[in-house]
């Protein structure tokens, strides 16, 4: 069996860094946990594809694995895991039964690891799916069902395409659920244009791109002026999260709620995409309009949240917690690359050896957009025209 360079997270590294940080989540340096390792590729089966990984994006689930802020997933996976849920790759070899792909094709991955009978995942590939290995590696062997042909003619560059394989299906899933739930309560003829708000991250900005593409009002609450400026060019109104001290107190939440009411002529937000941790949940809950929907796909620092159920009942607010898209939904989300989804990319494209630093900077929340790393030393001719 071949072995390739790959990044891993071990329980020993998690414990050592937690001890160094004195148990302070904010003081953890993720670059001390995500370490270069060797991955043994499994033997190719008839339905498998061997990939050369070209580029990957940084995902927050690596941060959760490295900090063990909800569960110690490395421990649950037997003490070592190989992360990386999102990649763009070149097909090197296909199994005897594979007809969808051929060597030389450029593909993207998804991370639906264990679909239930409705197609939604019970487990996520390269996270809690047993025996799954991720794509923070030079090469990978995966089943052909985990791959989608990259839409190279969609108008996005290579780094923008690499930003979307995990985020786009998540945003697509959250948007169709949130809108569907709201329309059960309020039909279009009663409220055609909705106020939609998202907090801070890459999934939220894509979620808002769905909203703006369908004619709704969209608001992006972020502490990053670069990201707000990028989305304002698309007609999405920016709200500076730092102006409200990241909702550190009840007074900050009240001030934020007042600001949102002023922006929406007293109506509030009909749909809220809540993607950050801690105090952002109360802020999103506070600005919900009557019949509002608060949809979330992010892990909280705790697995338990508190809210006033009386207020939720009186306002008819619905909270919806999602996970990830179906296989068919992943394909549908990919169709929107370039036309709806135009992601904001961090100004530095990281090198392979800088992936740990990229994740530390994501943990520190200092990046200007979605962080991307080039994995392959040399990129194939098929994508060279897509490099800005």
Q: Has residue 248 got a pLDDT over 90? A: no
Q: Has residue 278 got a pLDDT over 80? A: no
> Could you tell me if 48 and 114 lie in one domain?
yes
Query: What is the pLDDT averaged over residues 91-99?
Result: 97
> Could you tell me if 39 and 137 lie in one domain?
yes
Q: What is the pLDDT of residue 275?
A: 55
The larger pLDDT score, comparing residue 238 to residue 313, is at 238
> Could you tell me if 44 and 74 lie in one domain?
yes
Q: Model confidence over 291-301: pLDDT tens digits?
A: 999 988 765 55
Query: What is the pLDDT averaged over residues 328-335?
Result: 96
> Could you tell me if 13 and 152 lie in one domain?
yes
> Could you tell me if 33 and 152 lie in one domain?
yes
Q: Report the percent of the chain where pLDDT is more than 90.
A: 69
The larger pLDDT score, comparing residue 60 to residue 86, is at 86
Q: Specify whether the CB–CB gap between 258 and 249 falls below 8 A.
A: no
> Could you tell me if 207 and 288 lie in one domain?
yes
Q: What is the pLDDT of residue 358?
A: 95
Count of structural domains, the chain: 2
Q: What is the pLDDT of residue 302?
A: 57
The answer as to whether 158 is a domain residue is yes
CATH number at residue 256: 3.40.50.720
Q: Has residue 157 got a pLDDT over 60? A: yes
Q: Report the percent of the chain where pLDDT is more than 70.
A: 97
Q: What is the pLDDT of residue 324?
A: 86
Query: What is the pLDDT averaged over residues 117-142?
Result: 92
> Could you tell me if 184 and 279 lie in one domain?
yes
- Using 50, 70 and 90 to split pLDDT, how confident is the model at 176? very high
The answer as to whether 338 is a domain residue is no
Q: Model confidence over 207-235: pLDDT tens digits?
A: 999 999 999 999 999 888 999 999 999 99
- Using 50, 70 and 90 to split pLDDT, how confident is the model at 180? very high
Query: What is the pLDDT averaged over residues 335-358?
Result: 96
The answer as to whether 303 is a domain residue is yes
The answer as to whether 279 is a domain residue is yes
Q: What is the pLDDT of residue 298?
A: 62
In the numeric block, which tokens belong to residue 367? 């990046």
Q: Specify whether the CB–CB gap between 317 and 340 falls below 8 A.
A: no
Q: Which domain holds residue 354?
A: 3-163+343-384
> Could you tell me if 355 and 231 lie in one domain?
no
Q: Has residue 342 got a pLDDT over 70? A: yes
- Using 50, 70 and 90 to split pLDDT, how confident is the model at 353? very high
Q: What is the pLDDT of residue 62?
A: 85
Q: Has residue 196 got a pLDDT over 50? A: yes
In the numeric block, which tokens belong to residue 304? 């338990």
> Could you tell me if 229 and 81 lie in one domain?
no
Q: Has residue 276 got a pLDDT over 70? A: no
> Could you tell me if 144 and 195 lie in one domain?
no
The answer as to whether 41 is a domain residue is yes
For residue 268, how many other CB atoms are within 10 A of its CB?
20
Query: What is the pLDDT averaged over residues 251-275?
Result: 92
Q: Model confidence over 30-58: pLDDT tens digits?
A: 999 999 999 999 999 999 999 999 999 99
Q: Has residue 290 got a pLDDT over 70? A: yes
Q: Specify whether the CB–CB gap between 234 and 306 falls below 8 A.
A: no
The answer as to whether 334 is a domain residue is no
CATH number at residue 139: 3.90.180.10
Q: C-alpha dihedral over 11, 16, 20, 25, to 10 degrees? A: 0
> Could you tell me if 144 and 208 lie in one domain?
no
The answer as to whether 332 is a domain residue is no
> Could you tell me if 287 and 361 lie in one domain?
no
């Amino acid at each position: 069996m071949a072995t390739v360079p790959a990044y891993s997270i071990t329980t020993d590294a998690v414990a050592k860094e937690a001890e160094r940080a004195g148990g302070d989540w904010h003081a953890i340096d993720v670059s001390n946990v995500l370490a270069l390792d060797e991955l043994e590729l499994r033997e190719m089966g008839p339905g498998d594809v061997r990939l050369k990984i070209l580029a990957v994006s940084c995902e927050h689930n690596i941060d959760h694995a490295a900090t063990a802020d909800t569960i110690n997933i490395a421990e649950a996976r037997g003490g070592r895991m190989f992360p990386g849920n999102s990649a763009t790759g070149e097909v090197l070899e296909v199994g005897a039964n594979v007809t969808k792909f051929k060597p030389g094709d450029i593909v993207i991955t998804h991370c639906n690891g264990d679909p239930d009978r409705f197609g939604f995942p019970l487990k996520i590939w390269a996270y809690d799916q047993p025996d799954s290995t991720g794509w923070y590696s030079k090469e990978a062997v995966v089943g052909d069902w985990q791959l989608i042909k990259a839409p190279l003619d969609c108008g996005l560059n290579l780094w923008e395409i690499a930003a979307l394989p995990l985020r786009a299906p998540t945003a697509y899933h959250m948007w169709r659920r949130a809108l569907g739930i709201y329309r059960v309560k309020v039909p279009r003829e009663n409220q055609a244009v909705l106020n939609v708000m998202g907090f801070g991250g890459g999934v939220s900005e894509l979620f808002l791109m769905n909203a703006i593409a369908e004619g709704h009002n969209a608001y992006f609450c972020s502490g990053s002026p670069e990201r707000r400026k990028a989305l304002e060019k698309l007609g999405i109104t920016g709200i500076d999260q730092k102006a409200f001290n990241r909702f550190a107190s009840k007074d900050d939440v009240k001030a934020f709620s007042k600001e949102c009411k002023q922006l929406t002529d007293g109506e509030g937000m009909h749909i809220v995409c809540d993607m950050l941790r801690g105090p952002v949940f109360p802020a999103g809950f506070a600005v919900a309009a009557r019949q509002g929907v608060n949809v979330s796909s992010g892990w909280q620092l705790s697995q338990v949240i508190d809210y006033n159920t009386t207020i939720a009942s009186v306002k008819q607010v619905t909270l919806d917690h999602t996970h990830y898209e179906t296989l068919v939904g992943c394909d549908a989300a990919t169709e929107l690359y370039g036309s709806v989804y135009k992601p904001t990319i961090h100004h530095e494209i990281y090198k392979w050896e800088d992936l740990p630093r990229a994740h530390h900077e994501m943990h520190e929340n200092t990046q200007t957009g979605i962080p991307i790393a080039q994995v392959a030393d040399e990129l194939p001719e098929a994508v060279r025209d897509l490099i800005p």
